[in-house]
């Protein structure tokens, strides 16, 4: 646990927090982009240790939360087929579709399996040549290299019974959409450290300049997060709007160029719908035409799906930082972690689930 | 079909409507057996109303009943584990220790145990031999006698090799009154050692994650440790072994049963480096990972140091630690002081603990 424990050191965190308290002179609204950061903030109670003037708004960087309902329903339809072994990262299994989730598909006899890497699917495919292996390829830029590698390897090894239901999204177009909204309240961003590990942070420079908003590349341990907040607040107090790197032990400006090359080889830009937010042009990646045979959405005809989002769920406003989870009329009533209407109530990374727990405590 | 059958057997299903919290799930999902909220719902809303009686309603891990002046603790548990053999144990040792421990958590001295085997057609005789031998060894270690049993065989493909149900019986000594509803504000919370070993060992062995070498299940009979603690004082309020659902679920159950709050100091909870590293990689929280040889004790502060000292001199309690205390504030809620001085709610798991994407 070396190189992790050091970033959870109470004294080091306290010193940075003291500095934040010292330099903060007025209210600021910061958004942490990534669900992993939200998780850390709630997990360590960082938000309670900040000055009252600093408001953290939880961003849309949670793949569980923004994967569109259509795709969840399509995943459920494909996973229900007897000839399919459906594989996924663990926390997608509990995301509610229109009628059920993937765990229920499993309970009804579907072969749904949790994998830790998409490359595990290739092994399953080789061991089950009479079945179709489908991987739910969700996530941001972070999971894209491994997913691209699985497609690339399947192609190279001539594995024909593997395909991927791809729902990749990218952070910069989402930030642009948020900042372009007339209702935007966010004054600075903590960008997602893992995403920038892959992609670097040069993409954010034109955004910071165009919108005059500071952006700080931020990691996930408590010390990383308070450092990111400190650098963002300092920029706000100084009236600067630059891209800064508070996660230099991992992230470079260029990022991982080999991973980027692999992503480019397998994926191409496309429009994507974000659950709760709506369509954002050029905000995602799809498989290139030469890899179309690995596209599960083309391989399986699931017919017309009737997609119905709960009319009570205001997840979109929450994900844009325009509504606090506990201001949603369904919060804690129709919508609870055990019976989530929207994805942010599902995982501990979701803002609604986090608020639900803390609300329970304050009562 | 199911309804027809039950009617012909004289049990009327008429009038039974699925209670509200169960209606979200038209079919059983894995989390109904996961020891978290859904398991609790199943018990509370289906089984409890049908079978209500004082011993059952106490909702402890064992029932305590009185027969002719003797107080008996009885517990039953079924064991399904894949793989059947894992570093540190196997399904046989687990089945004996699990039930012995549930009986011991009433402060009882476990005496007898029974076993029911459900075997899958095709199970290697050698494997069954090793499991039975391991059970015999575990019985000796725990000082209990196997007094009756049963064997059934199911078709190939209808079981993971072998399932085992065990039931244990023990005697509760005079003056010992341990129950989940007895925690009082001011009491101290002790855990008997490092958490998360069993769950992570099983996960690593099952998934081939590559860090198995550092890990071994903690499966062990805890009746000796409990007896040693009771020698120091009989005034122990609660005892529970945090198996599936882990430390977090156990603390929540105790807080809920006693109607008190529990505050723990995260830094004081012993988590072995290998478990911490594995959880870090997989996005799991060690507080929710299963243990098979640990106990949580809640007792008055004045006895805490003496009991802790006695625990640390026992082989199964060497790393015992005070991890927190019972409070009047936030009843039924467990709050952890985080390493950096923040606070968080440690809730029950809603479903199974699932690895996170990022």
pLDDT at A358: 65
The predicted model gives B250-266 an average pLDDT of 96
DSSP sequence for B6-35 = HHHTT---TT----HHHHT-SS--GGGGTT
Q: What pLDDT is attached to residue B282?
A: 82
Shortest CA gap A1–chain B (Å): 6
CATH 3.30.1330.10 in chain B, residue ranges? 64-174
Tokens 């989730």 label which residue? A101
What's the mean pLDDT in B218-244? 97
What tens digit of pLDDT does each residue of A242-299 get?
Answer: 999 999 999 999 999 999 999 999 999 999 998 878 899 999 999 999 999 999 999 9
Please report the beta strands in A155-298, taking only residues with DSSP state E, as ranges in sequence order.
162-169, 188-192, 215-218, 243-245, 267-274, 278-287
* B32 beta partners: none
Kindly tell me if the per-residue pLDDT of A130 is higher than 50: yes
**Identical fold at A5-62+181-245 and A65-170+255-299?**
yes
The alpha carbon of residue A140 and the mean position of all alpha carbons in its chain are separated, in whole angstroms, by: 6
Q: How many Å apart are CA B184 and CA B259, to the nearest integer?
A: 9
A204 to each of A72, A189, B106, B154, how far by Cα in Å? 30, 10, 60, 61
Of B342, B344, B357, Cβ closest to residue A89: B357
Residue A102 phi/psi, 5° resolution?
A: -65, -25
| DSSP per position, B258-320 | HT-EEEEEGGGS---HHHHHHHHHHT--GGGS--SS--EEEE-HHHHHHHHHHHHTSTT-TT-
Tell me how close the Cα of B242 comes to any Cα of chain A, in angstroms: 21
Q: Distance of CA B251 to CAs A1, A98, A266, B61, Å?
A: 26, 35, 48, 14
User: Are the beta carbons of B342 and A337 separated by less than 8 Å?
Assistant: no
B339–A8 C-beta distance less than 8 A? yes
CATH superfamily of the domain spanning A5-62+181-245: HypD, alpha/beta domain 1 (3.40.50.11750)
Tell me which residue has tokens 């039924």: B332
Q: For residues B294, B295, B296 and B301, what is the CA-based torsion angle, rounded to 10 degrees?
A: -110
CA dihedral B102, B104, B108, B110 (to 10 degrees): 90
Q: The complex's ipTM? A: 0.76
Residue B16 pLDDT: 56
Strand B296-299 to strand B238-240: parallel, antiparallel, or no bridges (unpaired)? antiparallel
Q: What is d(CA B323, CA B242) in angstroms, rounded to the nearest whole number?
A: 14
**In the predicted structure, residue B207 carries a pLDDT above the cut 80:** no
Please state which of the ranges A136-150, A253-267, B40-54 shows the lowest mean pLDDT.
B40-54
pLDDT tens for B73-117 read: 999 999 999 899 999 999 999 999 999 999 999 999 999 999 999
In this prediction, residue B166 carries a pLDDT of: 98
Cβ(B344)–Cβ(A13) below 8 Å: no
B344 contacts A45? CB cut-off 8 A = yes
In A, minimum Cα distance to B36 occurs at A338
The per-residue pLDDT for A125 is 97
The pTM of the full predicted model, rounded to 2 decimals, is: 0.84
Other C-beta atoms lying within 10 Å of the C-beta of residue B200? 28
CB half-sphere exposure, A353, CA atoms < 13 A:
27
Given a contact cutoff of 8 angstroms between Cβ atoms, the answer to whether B314 and B224 are in contact is: yes
Answer yes or no: is pLDDT of B18 > 60.
no
User: What whole-number distance in Å separates Cα of residue B126 and Cα of residue B128?
Assistant: 5
Spatial separation of the C-alpha atoms in residues A10 and B64, rounded to whole Å: 45
pLDDT at position A322 is 82
Q: How far apart are CA A90 and CA B184, in angstroms?
A: 38
Which residue of chain A is at minimal alpha-carbon distance from B27?
A107
Residue from the list B343, B355, B358 with its beta carbon closest to the beta carbon of A139: B358
What are the residues of chain B with a beta carbon less than 8 Å away from any beta carbon of chain A?
A: 21, 24-31, 37-38, 207, 209, 273, 276-277, 280, 282-283, 330, 333, 335, 338-345, 347, 350-351, 354-358
| Cα–Cα dist A183/B222, whole Å | 60
What is the crossing angle of helices A222-238 and A35-44, to 10°?
110
Name the residue among B209, B344, B351 with its Cβ closest to that of A94: B351
How many residues are listed for chain B in this entry? 358
- Predicted local distance difference test score (pLDDT) of residue B10: 36
Is the preceding peptide bond at B69 cis, omega within 30 degrees of 0?
A: no
Sheet-wide strand order for B162-171: B63-67, B70-79, B162-171, B109-120, B145-154
Region A329-345: mean pLDDT is: 83
pLDDT at residue number A95: 85
Q: What digits encode the pLDDT tens for the residues B50-72?
A: 999 999 998 889 999 999 999 99
Q: What separation in angstroms does the CA of B143 have from each of A226, A358, B224?
A: 54, 46, 9
Report the distance separating Cα B30 and Cα A203, nearest Å: 43
pLDDT, residue A348, reads 63
Reference A276, options A309, A247, A306, A240; nearest CA is A309
The tens digit of pLDDT for each residue in A17-59 reads 999 999 999 999 999 999 889 888 988 989 989 999 999 988 8
Which CATH architecture group holds A65-170+255-299? 3-Layer(aba) Sandwich (3.40)
Question: Which has the closest alpha carbon to B219: B320, B115, B94, B101?
Answer: B94
Residues of B within 8 A of A222 (CB-CB) are 339-340
Distance of CA B245 to the CA centre of its chain: 8
φ/ψ region of A135 (left if φ > 0, alpha if ψ in -120 to 50, else beta) reads beta
Average pLDDT over residues A153-165: 97
Strands (E), A193-297: 215-218, 243-245, 267-274, 278-287
The helix (H) or strand (E) run that includes residue B110 is: strand B109-120
Suggest the residue from A61, A103, A120, A340 to mutate for an interface test with chain B (most B CBs closer than 10 A): A103
Band (B281; pLDDT cuts 50, 70, 90): confident
pLDDT at B12: 40
The predicted pLDDT at position B7 comes to 34
Distance CA A102, CA A228 (A): 36
CATH for the B64-174 domain, from 3.40.50.1100, 3.30.1330.10, 3.90.580.10, 3.40.50.300: 3.30.1330.10
CATH class of B180-345: alpha beta
Of A91, A347, A357, the CB nearest to B347: A357
pLDDT: is B23 or B317 the higher one?
A: B317
Kindly list the residues from chain B whose CB atom is less than 8 angstroms away from the CB atom of residue A139.
Answer: 357-358
Residue from the list A4, A35, A94 with its beta carbon closest to the beta carbon of B354:
A94
Percent pLDDT > 70 in chain A is: 97
d(CA B178, CA B342): 33
- Partner-chain contact B276 A103, CB within 8 Å: no
In this structure, of A31-45, B14-28, B44-58, B178-192, the range with the lowest mean pLDDT score is B14-28
Residue listed under structure tokens 């259509």: A70
Which pLDDT tens digit goes with each residue over B115-150? 999 999 999 999 999 999 999 999 999 999 999 999
> Considering only CA atoms, which of A133, A136, A131 is closest in space to residue A101?
A136
User: Whole-angstrom Cα distance, residue A134 to residue A71?
Assistant: 13
Where in chain A are the domains?
Answer: 5-62+181-245, 65-170+255-299, 315-362
Of A43, A45, A116, the CB nearest to B355: A116
* Cα B136 to Cα B238: distance, rounded to the nearest angstrom: 30
Nearest to B343 among A45, A90, A337 (CB): A45
Nearest CA to B245 among B181, B190, B292? B292
Q: Using an 8 Å CB-CB cutoff, list chain A residues near B357.
A: 63-64, 89-92, 138-139, 143
pLDDT(A346) > 90: no
Given a cut of 70, whether residue B356 has pLDDT beyond it is: no
Chain A nearest-CA distance from B262, in A, is: 12
Arithmetic mean of pLDDT, B271-284: 88
Residue A226: phi, psi to the nearest 5? -70, -30
How far apart, in Å, are the Cα atoms of A192 and each of A169, A220, B21?
13, 9, 38
Q: Average of pLDDT values for A76-90?
A: 95
CB-based contact B354:B289 (threshold 8 Å): no
Tokens of B129: 């031999």
Is A32 within 8 Å of A58 (Cβ atoms)? yes
pLDDT above 70 coverage of chain B, percent? 90
Q: What is the mean pLDDT of residues B283-309?
A: 96
Residues from chain B that touch A93, judged by Cβ atoms under 8 A, are 354
Mean pLDDT of chain B: 90
Counting one residue from A and one from B, how many pairs have CB atoms under 8 Å apart?
A: 115
Name the band, by pLDDT with cuts 50, 70 and 90, for residue B13.
very low
User: Smallest Cβ distance to A64: which of B207, B277, B357?
Assistant: B357
- Is there a contact between A138 and B357 if contact means CB atoms under 8 Å apart? yes
- DSSP code for A90: G
Q: Are B341 and A116 a contacting pair at CB < 8 A?
A: no
pLDDT at B351: 64
Q: Are the Cβ atoms of A49 and B335 closer than 8 angstroms?
A: no
Cα angle for residues B12, B17, B19 (degrees, 5° grid)? 135
| pLDDT tens digits along B316-345 | 999 999 999 999 999 999 999 998 888 888
**N residues, chain A:** 363
Kind and range of the H or E run holding B169: strand B162-171
Residue B355 has pLDDT above 70, yes or no: no
Contact A338 B38 (CB under 8 A): yes
Q: Give, in degrees to the nearest 5, the angle at Cα B356 between B350 and B358.
A: 145
């Amino acid at each position: 646990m070396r190189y992790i424990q050091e970033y959870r050191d109470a004294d080091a965190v306290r010193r940075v927090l003291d500095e934040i308290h010292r330099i903060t002179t007025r209210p600021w609204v910061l958004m942490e982009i990534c669900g992993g950061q939200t998780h850390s903030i709630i997990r360590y109670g960082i938000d309670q240790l900040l000055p009252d003037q600093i408001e953290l708004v939880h961003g849309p960087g949670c793949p569980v939360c923004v994967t569109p309902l259509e795709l969840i329903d399509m995943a459920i339809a494909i996973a229900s087929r007897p000839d399919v072994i459906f594989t996924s990262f663990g926390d997608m299994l509990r995301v509610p579709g229109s009628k059920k989730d993937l765990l229920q598909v499993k309970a009804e006899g579907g072969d749904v399996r949790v994998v830790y890497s998409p490359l595990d699917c290739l092994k399953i495919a080789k061991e089950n040549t009479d079945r179709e292996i489908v991987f739910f390829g969700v996530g941001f830029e972070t999971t894209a290299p491994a997913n691209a590698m699985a497609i690339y390897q399947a192609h190279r090894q001539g594995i024909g019974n593997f395909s991927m239901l791809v729902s990749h999204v990218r952070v910069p177009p989402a930030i642009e959409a948020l900042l372009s909204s007339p209702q935007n309240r966010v004054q600075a961003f903590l960008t997602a450290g893992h995403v920038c590990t892959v992609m670097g942070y040069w993409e954010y420079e034109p955004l910071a300049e165009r919108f005059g908003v500071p952006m700080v590349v931020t990691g996930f341990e408590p010390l990383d997060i308070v450092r990111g907040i400190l650098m963002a607040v300092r920029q706000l107090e100084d009236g600067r709007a630059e891209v800064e790197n508070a996660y230099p032990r991992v992230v470079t400006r260029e990022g991982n160029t080999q991973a980027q090359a692999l992503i480019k080889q397998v994926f191409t830009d496309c429009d994507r719908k974000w659950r709760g937010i709506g369509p954002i042009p050029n905000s995602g990646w799809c498989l290139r035409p030469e890899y179309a045979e690995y596209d599960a959405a083309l391989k399986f005809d699931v017919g017309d799906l009737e997609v119905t989002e709960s009319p009570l769920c205001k997840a979109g406003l929450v994900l844009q930082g325009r509504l606090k989870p506990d201001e949603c009329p369904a919060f804690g009533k129709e919508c609870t972690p055990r019976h989530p209407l929207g994805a942010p109530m599902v995982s501990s990374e979701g803002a609604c689930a986090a608020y639900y727990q803390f609300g329970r405590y304050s009562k | 079909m199911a309804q027809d059958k039950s009617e012909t057997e004289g049990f009327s299903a008429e009038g039974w409507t699925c209670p509200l919290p169960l209606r979200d799930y038209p079919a059983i999902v894995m989390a109904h057996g996961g020891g978290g909220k859904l398991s609790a719902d199943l018990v509370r809303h289906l089984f409890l109303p049908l079978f209500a009686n004082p011993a059952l309603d106490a909702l402890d891990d064992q029932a305590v009943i009185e027969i002719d002046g003797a107080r008996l603790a009885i517990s039953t548990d079924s064991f399904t584990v894949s793989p059947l053999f894992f570093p540190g144990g196997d399904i046989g040792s687990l089945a004996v220790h699990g039930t012995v421990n549930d009986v011991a958590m009433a402060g009882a001295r476990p005496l007898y145990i029974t076993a029911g085997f459900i075997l899958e057609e095709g199970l290697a005789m050698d494997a069954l031999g090793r499991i039975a031998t391991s059970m015999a060894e575990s019985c000796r270690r725990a000082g209990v006698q196997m007094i009756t049993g049963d064997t059934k065989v199911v078709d190939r493909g209808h079981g993971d090799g072998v399932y085992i149900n065990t039931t244990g019986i023990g005697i509760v000594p005079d003056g010992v009154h341990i129950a989940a509803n007895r925690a009082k504000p001011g009491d101290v919370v002790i855990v008997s050692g490092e958490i998360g070993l069993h769950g992570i060992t099983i996960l690593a062995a099952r998934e081939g994650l590559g860090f198995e070498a550092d890990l071994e299940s903690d499966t062990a009979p805890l009746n000796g440790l409990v007896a040693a603690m009771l020698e120091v004082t009989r005034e122990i309020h609660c005892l529970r072994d945090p198996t599936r659902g882990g430390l977090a679920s156990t603390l929540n159950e105790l807080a809920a049963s006693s109607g008190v709050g529990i505050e723990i100091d995260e830094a004081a909870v012993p988590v072995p480096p290998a478990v911490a590293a594995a959880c870090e990689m997989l996005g799991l929280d060690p507080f929710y990972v299963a243990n098979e040889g640990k106990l949580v004790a809640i007792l008055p502060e004045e006895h805490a140091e003496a009991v802790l000292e006695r625990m640390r001199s026992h082989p199964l309690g060497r790393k015992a630690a005070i991890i927190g205390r019972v409070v009047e504030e936030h009843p039924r809620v467990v709050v952890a002081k985080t390493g950096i001085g923040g606070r968080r709610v440690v809730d029950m798991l809603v479903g199974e603990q699932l690895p996170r994407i990022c």
